[in-house]
């Protein structure tokens, strides 16, 4: 069985989606609709924008969403998932591709998400750091000892976890990890503490928008970040989406559960190959590829 995977923030690059636009009239119609919904020419920024322009949250998240979702649309009948999953932002792409929410509503939610997260970043000085080659339990225990907001935010693969919290919390965690002999700890150049309690302001804003949006049962199970479990019930999908901004991304656990549920092929839809690499670290024998259109 096949699972289609959708990447999150960080997969963007200048020129993304341009080939899709040039080859497909259907893709051009979606890009045109996106420009109208967002109120600015995101296609132009995606095709010609600088690295700095593409790093702006209000651009990055809609851009990655558009690249992934439009690719799945252009694939037509070739897009035939037995399951879907997306990493953080990619969960919204996965839900649209699986028919749980419309393209228009999905894009509006992603843009609202980006704006709300940017506001939350401005309210609380915060950061994230990648921790490599350390057991999850060790990272979790160090976070628990710190008297500040700091939590494991992304369980990406065995030996790859991201922590998220206040600037002081991240600094203290990095210090304690290095003092314990764990040298491969790297602060990330991000705007804030994603997937932590410091995103509660953003979650509150996004909650209203999600609750006002129509969701239906997807064409296949969606393995959501918050639970790492297969979900098809619309109300559960919405509840998990609301929790997503303040909860860890259980990516490693999601892939492990897909493997248990007899998924044996993983196809990444959208920019980059990051998720394929994570899947191979979780299960080296997995069959992985990029989507073709």
Summarize pLDDT for 241-286 with one digit per residue, the tens: 999 999 999 999 999 999 999 999 999 999 989 999 999 999 999 9
Tell me the torsion sign for CA atoms 72, 89, 57, 188.
negative
- How much of the chain, in percent, has pLDDT values that exceed 90? 83
- How much of the chain, in percent, has pLDDT values that exceed 70? 100
> What is the CATH class of 125-187?
alpha beta
In the prediction, which pLDDT does 248 show?
Answer: 97
3-state secondary structure of 284: coil
Residue appearing with tokens 């069985």: 1
In the prediction, which pLDDT does 69 show?
Answer: 97
Instruction: Find the mean pLDDT for residues 114-142.
Output: 91
In the prediction, which pLDDT does 100 show?
Answer: 98
In the prediction, which pLDDT does 149 show?
Answer: 94
CATH 1.20.58.1000, domain 2-122+197-290, yes or no: no
Token output for 255: 């892939």
Whether 158 has a pLDDT exceeding 80, the answer reads yes
**Which residues are known catalytic residues?**
88, 195
The residues near 284 (Cβ < 8 Å, ≥ 6 apart) are none
Summarize pLDDT for 180-235 with one digit per residue, the tens: 899 899 888 777 899 999 999 999 999 999 999 999 999 999 999 999 999 999 99
| Domains of the chain, residue spans | 2-122+197-290, 125-187
What Å distances lie between residue 234 and 68, 212, 275, 283, CA to CA?
22, 13, 25, 30
Neighbours of 96 (CB within 10 A): 28
The residues near 259 (Cβ < 8 Å, ≥ 6 apart) are 282, 283, 286
* Mean model confidence pLDDT for the chain: 93
In the prediction, which pLDDT does 187 show?
Answer: 84
3-state secondary structure of 183: coil
């Amino acid at each position: 069985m096949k699972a289609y995977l959708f990447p999150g923030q960080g997969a963007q690059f200048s020129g993304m989606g341009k080939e899709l636009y040039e080859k497909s009239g259907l893709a051009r119609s979606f890009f045109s609709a996106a420009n109208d919904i967002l109120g600015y020419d995101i296609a132009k920024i995606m095709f010609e924008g600088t690295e700095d322009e593409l790093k702006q949250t209000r651009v990055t998240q809609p851009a990655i969403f558009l690249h992934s979702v439009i690719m799945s649309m252009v694939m037509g009948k070739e897009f035939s998932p037995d399951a879907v999953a997306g990493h953080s932002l990619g969960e919204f792409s996965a839900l649209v591709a699986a028919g749980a929410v419309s393209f228009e509503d999905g894009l509006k939610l992603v843009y609202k998400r980006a704006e709300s997260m940017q506001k939350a970043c401005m309210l609380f000085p915060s950061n994230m750091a990648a921790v490599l080659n350390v057991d999850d339990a060790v990272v979790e225990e160090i976070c628990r000892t710190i008297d500040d907001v700091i939590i494991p935010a992304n369980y990406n693969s065995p030996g790859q976890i991201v922590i998220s919290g206040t600037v002081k919390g991240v600094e203290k965690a990095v210090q304690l990890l290095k003092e314990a002999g764990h040298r491969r700890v790297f602060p990330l150049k991000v705007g804030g503490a994603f997937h932590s309690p410091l995103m509660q302001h953003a979650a509150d804003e996004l909650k209203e928008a999600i609750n006002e949006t129509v969701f239906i049962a997807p064409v296949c199970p969606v393995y959501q970040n918050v639970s790492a479990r297969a979900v098809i019930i619309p109300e559960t999908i919405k509840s998990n989406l609301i929790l997503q901004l303040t909860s860890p991304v259980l990516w490693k656990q999601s892939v492990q559960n897909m493997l248990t549920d007899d998924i044996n092929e993983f196809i990444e839809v959208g920019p980059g190959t990051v998720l394929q690499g994570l899947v191979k670290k979780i299960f080296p024998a997995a069959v992985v590829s990029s989507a073709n259109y």
